[in-house]
Structure 1
Amino acid sequence: MEMLVNMDLWRRFCPSTDSFHSNFFILVLFYVVRPTAGAIKTPSPIDVVIDQSRLNWNSTASDVTFTVEFKNIEFDWMPIEMCRKTRSTSCDLSLEERDSCIRHRVTAWRNGVESEPVEACSRDGHECSPNFTLTAAPESLTVNLKRNHNLHEDHADIMKYSIKLGKKGEQLENPRVTLSSELIDGLEVGETYCVTVQFLLHWKEYGPASCMQCETIPSSSGSKQTQIIVICFVVLAIALLVVFAYVRLFRFKKIKEILQPPYTIPTTLKKPLSGNNYSVVAMSLPEEHCDVVSGLTPIHPRGV
């Protein structure tokens, strides 16, 4: 009975206690539910590729809009008004009178929620993207860079390469800065590694990066060594066979006689000469008559 009286007195002095509990419950529920709603992320664009004058991409969602941004080496990301909040999956860059060596990225929007931006790469040899090929070997991967690029004529060795490497499906990390082709060793056999290459100008990323290329690291070169050994044995056997054939066919008299074509002496050469027998007399040539040269005496003796 005393407890009920105390509660009644509390309600008289604090008439808003019931509303306070309800408001407090709603506030807690809001902060609990809000992260769950924010967990519904907007899917990022995929296959964002740039050529000389057009940017193309794809999306896994159909109810999104896209915004294209550009960035130079001197300023931060800025939107392209012609390709802002668009539902198209391409953007014409031919009307943009800017430096060609700029970077682009695409962001998706859905219900006011922004996706992670995806930067465009070059797959068909952009004028501001490096050209390279990959050569896989046991436990290593060689990035073959082609230095016949127009930018090298303008910047020489100030222009460097940034090589990013990583396993397929993982984030590419630990960029390697180099001036020429790079050999990367210590890789796991059987794993697939992917590489992207981008120009660096004054140690800043310059132009779009080349699109990702991947190669699987082969196992040990035992099979190749076996093939090389087999080829060597075959060549050696052929060489020995040629030498043996030469000795047997060209160094033995019997073999030479067998290979010699048949011949007969004509009968006319075997008959004696008809008529008188003529003795063969050796004839000497007549002596030549030479004029005797008389002695000559110099008019002025030597030393005079």
Structure 2
Amino acid sequence: MLFIVLCTLIAVHGHVLSEIPPAPPQNIHVDNWLLTWPAATEQEEVTYTVQYSSFDSAVWTDVPACVHISLNCCNVISTKAEGDLGCVMLRVQAERRGLTSTPVEACSRHGDSCTPDFSLTAGPGSLTVHLSRNHSMALEHGDHAKHRVYYGKEGEPRQKYKDVMASVTIRELLEGQRYCTEVQYVYFDVPVGLATCTQCEVIPKSSKDSKQSGIIVAVVLVVVLLVLIPVLAYFLIFQRGTIKQWLSSYHIPEDFFEPFPKSLLPISSCSHTEEHCHVISSISPEELRE
């Protein structure tokens, strides 16, 4: 009886799972046209399909070599020839028994001809995105090619962005919060190629806090002095007799002012001898004496 119940539960559980789409792949990134993502170890019978989209196109096309594969990687070098400007956007979706997950777009870890290369510097209330003006896209297409910098708090959708030619500083950010950025090329305001993988930095607190600490310390010192000086003045003016009486009760040892004992003085080991002198009456040349 128990065996039948277990078999029934397993069958029902498997049927329920078969009606639920698989979880979408995560952390999809490209490195030298090799697309990789973590394997779904807890999901069975899951396959993956890689798709690409060229410039200014909303149509996604399957990569022929990467349709319903069980591997967690795919070489997508063939898509380079398919994309306008030689660049494409890539995404991956999981599939199980005819049900597909939400497709997830890939990002690029390293800059190349289709993906910008950038670094971040966080300052008080700001985040500077360092970008090169002389990138390959700009050299070929001039000012029509720009950087699109997406930014926002960590864990929130990055809906805000700035289109810039080179480095940019994003201001009025909350101090102590962690902000993340992604950068993508745009050509005539249309995204081109893969976006960079996300980079994040914590916005440091401004020097105002240290200045405030210094002001607090200074105020405390002033208060202490304002309290200490009147107290000392009170004792010196009104308690002079008490202070004298306290000093007179203190006895100085009698031998305190005695001179230093002669026995402890250093004794010179040198002795002076009396010198004997002779008076020279005259000096004559050596030839005359001969």
Give the TM-score, by structure 2 length.
0.61
Change (3 A) 1:206 1:190: same
Write the distance in 1 (CA, Å) between the matches of 2:73 and 2:114.
Answer: 20
Aligned counterpart in structure 1 of residue 103 of structure 2, from 82, 106, 117: 117
Change (3 A) 1:202 1:37: same
- Residue of structure 2 in register with 1:191 after alignment: 177
- Residue of structure 2 in register with 1:240 after alignment: none
Residue 44 (structure 2) pairs with residue 58 (structure 1): no
Q: Structure 1 counterpart of 2:82, which letter?
A: R
Work out whether residues 148 and 164 of structure 2, in 8 Å CA contact, stay in contact via their aligned partners in 1: yes
- Residue of structure 1 in register with 2:73 after alignment: 90
- Residue of structure 2 in register with 1:69 after alignment: 51
Aligned counterpart in structure 2 of residue 165 of structure 1, from 146, 151, 154: 151
- Residue of structure 2 in register with 1:5 after alignment: none
Gap regions ≥5 residues in structure 2: 1-15, 213-284, 286-290
- Residue of structure 2 in register with 1:133 after alignment: 119
Work out whether residues 44 and 59 of structure 1, in 8 Å CA contact, stay in contact via their aligned partners in 2: no
Q: Structure 2 counterpart of 1:160, which letter?
A: K
Residue 33 (structure 2) pairs with residue 49 (structure 1): no
Work out whether residues 159 and 200 of structure 1, in 8 Å CA contact, stay in contact via their aligned partners in 2: yes
| Superposition deviation, residue 112 in structure 1 | 2.4
| Superposition deviation, residue 83 in structure 1 | 0.3
Write the distance in 1 (CA, Å) between the matches of 2:75 and 2:206.
Answer: 48
| Superposition deviation, residue 53 in structure 1 | 2.3
SS at match of 1:46: coil
| Superposition deviation, residue 58 in structure 1 | 1.4
1:39-98 C-alpha deviation (Å, 9 max, x unpaired)? 944211111111222111114443211110001014311111210111111111234443
Write the distance in 1 (CA, Å) between the matches of 2:160 and 2:192.
Answer: 18
Write the distance in 2 (CA, Å) between the matches of 1:163 and 1:145.
Answer: 10
Work out whether residues 151 and 160 of structure 2, in 8 Å CA contact, stay in contact via their aligned partners in 1: yes
Q: How does 1:214-229 map to 2 (within 5 A)?
A: 214-221=200-207
**Larger gyration radius, structure 1 or structure 2:** 1
Paired residues, number: 192
Aligned counterpart in structure 2 of residue 103 of structure 1, from 84, 89, 99: 89
Change (3 A) 1:144 1:158: same
Write the distance in 2 (CA, Å) between the matches of 1:39 and 1:173.
Answer: 33
Work out whether residues 52 and 127 of structure 1, in 8 Å CA contact, stay in contact via their aligned partners in 2: no
Identical counterparts, % of pairs: 35
Q: Structure 1 counterpart of 2:184, which letter?
A: Q
| Superposition deviation, residue 162 in structure 1 | 1.0
Query: RMSD of the alignment, in Å?
Result: 2.4
Change (3 A) 1:138 1:85: same
| Superposition deviation, residue 105 in structure 1 | 0.6
SS at match of 1:58: coil
Q: Structure 2 counterpart of 1:142, which letter?
A: T
